[in-house]
Amino acid sequence: MSTRTLARRAALAGATVAAALALAACGGDHSTAGTDHAMPGGTASGSPSAGASFGDADVMFAQMMILHHRQAVEMAELADGRAADPEVKKLAAQIKAAQGPEIATMTDWLAAWGRPAPPPGAGHGMPGMDHGMPGMMSDGDLAKLKASSGVDFDRQFLTMMIAHHEGAITMAREELARGANPDARALAQRIADTQQAEIDTMRKLLDRL
């Protein structure tokens, strides 16, 4: 699969997630557009700020980014025993180390907000989230990645992860544009900055392979 094809998929999915967020903001069983909710305070690491508020966009961001991060971690774990380039192995470990704790943080937020987190094995969605996420790989993409090794794995991993990161940045920007919760917005900014830097690194690695 070419980088252009993956980029096109990420762009199309980005439009889908924007529409989904707009629909979520129109209403729901628990909240309405523009409505902020009092949030339980917490002192543990990753807990919501005391007295902070959240909206539907924050909930959607956390639910979707958990699923998105889970797939990134799954892809990163494949590098062990398959990747040939030491820099690719290092990057995969870096992605796993960063995104695993972020999954835990967002799961804690959803629990504090009284909203469901995607259950283990939820795949690409959960009830009420019947839409695509930008940059997500298909089952076929993952199967192809799992079946590869050496330089072939390195090229596929970098190409797919670039598209995956671009999708995460799209989602982070949606949160920055629509979100109300300061912690969620801060994480969105960190994701956008970190993953853009990783994209720049991956493009350089891909150019030399």
Q: Does residue 34 fall inside a structural domain?
A: no
> Which pLDDT belongs to residue 91?
97
How high is the pLDDT of residue 123? Answer: 59
Counting the structural domains of the chain, the total is 1
* Confidence at residue 45, expressed as pLDDT on a 0 to 100 scale: 43
Domain assignment of residue 51, yes or no = no
Better-scored residue on pLDDT, 157 or 37: 157
Q: Distances in Å between the alpha carbon of 51 and those of 18, 42, 48, 177?
A: 28, 10, 9, 21
Task: Establish if 33 belongs to a structural domain.
Answer: no
Is 50 a member of any domain? no
**Amino acid making up residue 178:** R
Least confident of 27-36, 41-50, 145-154, 177-186: 27-36
Query: What pLDDT was estimated at residue 52?
Result: 74
Q: Mean pLDDT across the stretch 110-128?
A: 77
pLDDT exceeds 60 at position 132: yes
pLDDT for res 35: 45
Q: Where are the alpha helices (DSSP H) in 49-121?
A: 56-77, 86-113
Evaluate whether residue 166 is within a structural domain: yes
Q: Is residue 48 in a domain?
A: no
| Residue-level pLDDT at 70 | 97
- Identify the domain containing residue 16 by its residue range: 3-24+56-208
Query: In whole numbers, what is the pLDDT of the chain averaged over residues?
Result: 81
> Looking at the predicted structure, is the pLDDT value of residue 205 above 60?
yes
Q: How confident is the model at residue 47 (pLDDT cuts 50, 70, 90)?
A: low
Residue 155 has pLDDT above 60, yes or no: yes
Res. 28 pLDDT band, cuts 50 70 90: very low
Give DSSP secondary structure letters for 148-206.
--HHHHHHHHHHHHHHHHHHHHHHHHHHHHH---HHHHHHHHHHHHHHHHHHHHHHHHH
- Give the pLDDT mean for 147-161: 98
Which CATH number goes with the domain that contains 150? Answer: 1.20.1260.10
Tell me the pLDDT tens digit for each residue of 177-187.
999 999 999 99
